[in-house]
Amino acid sequence: MNNYAYLGIVQRGRFKPMATEHDTAKSYRLTSVAVNSAVSPESGELSLEEYEGSAIIVRGFDKGEWIYSAVVIEQAGLILTAVVQQVFASTDKQHPYRLRFPLA
């Protein structure tokens, strides 16, 4: 199991990936809970309120509608968020752009 990276925008309290290292769902909720933990992902759900409308980079493990062990690595400002939206807006929503890590 890989700790993948996701670049996306937070909209209406959900994370919408626009560029990823592998195929993903259209939107996610984020949790600090580990994938195989005995507790529910809701118990560790990360609030995305402070990121609403911003581009963020997240690392974690996706499964279903959740990114587990999620960590927000970076939040973009207004200008960079606008650039991310413009650059990735024209992609086929079923197949987001691929990220290559580490970012150089």
Instruction: Tell me the whole-structure pTM to 2 decimals.
Output: 0.84
Cα distance between residue 9 and residue 52, in whole Å: 8
6-36 pLDDT tens trace: 999 999 999 999 888 887 888 999 999 999 9
Is residue 63 within 8 A of residue 84, CB to CB? The reply is no
41-53 pLDDT tens trace: 999 999 999 999 9
Phi, psi (deg, nearest 5) at residue 49: -55, -45
What does the pLDDT read at residue 104? Answer: 42
50-81 pLDDT tens trace: 999 999 999 999 999 999 999 999 999 999 99
